Amino acid sequence: MCQLVNLMKTMLRLQITTADIDNIKNGLVEWVQKYEQYYYQYKCERLSVCTPTAHGLLHIADGIRDCGPVWCTWSFYMERFCHVLEQLAARFNLENELQSVNERIGDGPIGYERSYPEYVDYVLRPPYIKISNMSKDLERRLAIYFSQVLGKRTAEVTTHLSLSALSVGKFRIRHGGDSFRTEAVSKRTGQNERKNCYVRVCIFMTYSLDTCKLTISPHSRAHLQYLLWKILVYQVPNDPFFGGLSGKEQILVLLTPWKTDGQDATKTLTWVRAKLAPIVTDIRNIKAVVGLVDSRKRSGIIDRAQESVFAGFDDMEVDEW
């Protein structure tokens, strides 16, 4: 049994070489042969111990060789979630909620979900908590954000800010997009649940002083990964100081960037070097959930952007992983 445990630890590595795969294949063949010797004993009446699971061990190495490390294809988190859905469906009528996203009419908000005119593709979800007097740190980061958007001094923006906002726990992107949770809400789901608070920010919004509109900047296409701390619905004060944003509701997020030494997790295996100072930005900059996996006392980022995913091994001569 210890041999199988050691083989499984090798299979679960974030990085794996072709030599490791050969060792896994030989080790599993040896283990299955011993299993048959001890339990099957090559007797027809004991054939029931030869389960499909035991046979499936013989195909794991080939699967890793063809598809990459096991984290590329594992689905245990979805199986766990299906079990939760079965329990809920036994107590509540979830017919609408369990429909495929494409089957819902317009995929709009349902129940306690909310949407806002300027953010039609972003649906907010409870819990909702009203903030009547935000912290000095959050106020300062909010002021930095609006100073960058409006092209004004941070100290000047601070004097015009309102200190109230609505804190939101979760949101989802319509039309097949991901679902997200703040770091605080993700903690409630348990240690073994998927953390939807690790996000990818692909592009940034810029504010045009000429048109008084937020637009997508075509010059900032880097894929960056962050930790999602807060989601805020912020009512911009009805003040000419804010120009075209005056009186409008803005959905903003507080994010902690990860230092990755300039690496892009959608293109190469990327490790988190450190956490940087939190920033505030528009929620529309968030595009997808990413994964964070601990391996060998380091944290690696898994970004499953469809345009960049392919199998690779440490000893392959390729330019990108």
* pLDDT exceeds cutoff 80 at 317: no
Pairing of strands 286-289, 198-201: antiparallel
* pLDDT exceeds cutoff 90 at 194: no
Task: Out of 124-128, 166-170, 204-208, 269-273, pick the least confident.
Answer: 204-208
Cβ-contact 142, 161 below 8 angstroms: yes
* pLDDT exceeds cutoff 70 at 104: no
* pLDDT of res. 132: 93
Confidence of residue 281 (pLDDT cuts 50, 70, 90): very high
* pLDDT of res. 201: 86
* pLDDT of res. 58: 92
Of 121 and 263, which is predicted with more confidence? 121
pLDDT digits (tens, 9 = 90+) for 11-34: 888 888 999 999 999 999 999 999
DSSP 223-279: -EEEEEEEEEEEE--S-GGGGGGTT-EEEEEEEEEEE-TT--TTTS-EE--EE---E
* pLDDT exceeds cutoff 70 at 319: no
Percent of the chain with pLDDT over 90: 40
* pLDDT of res. 209: 45
Cβ-contact 302, 290 below 8 angstroms: yes
| Residue range 64-80: mean pLDDT, rounded | 81
| Residue range 292-301: mean pLDDT, rounded | 83
Cβ-contact 126, 133 below 8 angstroms: no
Confidence of residue 204 (pLDDT cuts 50, 70, 90): low
Confidence of residue 121 (pLDDT cuts 50, 70, 90): very high
Cβ-contact 124, 251 below 8 angstroms: yes
* pLDDT of res. 245: 93
